[in-house]
């Protein structure tokens, strides 16, 4: 019996060490894929994208790193298809002997569709507005949910506005995204509409 208990304890310890190692590799700051605002993932927390999902291609479409959910929209008019915006961290294999994994590196936002229980990559977030063939209804739904998630992650509209106010530079966004912030009652001073411009950083 004591050997079983010892074995279980060693398994728990190993899992804890893996979790601690993963956390230690997460960068101190990350960048929001929609407005380029840097944030601390330890305090500004978005939902994790599940690792164990099924892909249409049979292989993971966004690597085997860590990803967070920035938006989800369910298309009730089309069999409940789901559209997602995710972004996060990936790890590459290093050219060592034996092969080893490198540190996590930040990835750009990616748009996914979930259909019949399987995910497929549609393209980068930068293509959301003009190149992915999504309807205005779906794009608007994704942006509204993205703003809601951002407000929750920062702990309220005021906290998000304050973080934006501490940032530097000016960003130009698509009119649809600016409307989503306006409709949610979030005022990000200095945000303009047009072609997407430079990101903003906050410390």
- The pLDDT tens digits of the residues spanning 11-57 come to 444 444 344 444 546 788 899 999 999 999 999 999 999 988 889 87
- Closest to 140 (Cα-Cα) out of 127, 128, 155: 128
- The pLDDT tens digits of the residues spanning 168-193 come to 666 889 999 999 999 999 999 888 88
Residue 168, sorted as left (phi over 0), alpha (psi -120 to 50) or beta, turns out to be beta
- Torsion angle of alpha carbons 44, 47, 48, 54, nearest 10°? -160
DSSP reduced 3-state for 109: coil
Residue 183 and residue 151 in contact, taking contact as beta carbons nearer than 8 Å = no
Confidence class for position 105, pLDDT limits 50, 70, 90: confident
- For 196, the token pair is 């997407």
pLDDT of residue 169: 60
Residue 33 and residue 85 in contact, taking contact as beta carbons nearer than 8 Å = yes
Tell me which H or E stretch contains 172. strand 172-173
- The pLDDT tens digits of the residues spanning 131-162 come to 899 999 999 999 999 999 999 999 999 999 99
In degrees and rounded to multiples of 5, residue 76 shows phi and psi of -70, -20
Other Cβ atoms closer than 10 A to 81 = 15
| CA dist., res. 186 & res. 157, Å (int) | 6
pLDDT of residue 200: 43
Please provide the average confidence, as pLDDT, over all residues in the chain. Answer: 82
pLDDT of residue 59: 67
Q: Where are the domains of the chain?
A: 2-193
| CA dist., res. 99 & res. 19, Å (int) | 21
Residue 90 and residue 105 in contact, taking contact as beta carbons nearer than 8 Å = yes
Q: Hey, which residues does 87 pair with through a beta bridge?
A: 68
């Amino acid at each position: 019996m004591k050997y079983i208990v010892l074995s279980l304890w060693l398994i728990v310890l190993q899992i804890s060490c893996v979790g601690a190692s993963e956390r230690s590799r997460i960068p101190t700051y990350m960048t929001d894929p929609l407005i380029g605002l840097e944030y601390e993932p330890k305090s500004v927390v978005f939902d994790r994208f599940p690792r164990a999902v099924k892909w249409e291609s049979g292989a993971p479409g966004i690597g085997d790193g860590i990803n967070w959910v920035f938006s989800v929209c369910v298309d009730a008019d089309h069999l409940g298809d789901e559209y997602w915006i995710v972004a996060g961290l990936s790890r590459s294999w290093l050219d060592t002997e034996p092969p080893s994994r490198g540190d996590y590196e930040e990835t750009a936002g990616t748009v996914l569709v979930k259909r019949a229980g399987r995910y497929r990559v549609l393209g980068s977030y930068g293509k959301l507005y003009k190149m992915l063939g999504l309807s205005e209804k779906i794009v608007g739904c994704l942006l509204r949910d993205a703003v809601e998630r951002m407000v929750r992650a920062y702990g309220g509209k005021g906290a998000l506005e304050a973080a934006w106010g501490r940032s530097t530079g000016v960003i130009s966004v698509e009119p649809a995204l600016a409307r989503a912030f306006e409709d949610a009652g979030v005022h990000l001073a200095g945000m303009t509409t047009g072609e997407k411009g430079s990101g903003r950083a906050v410390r």
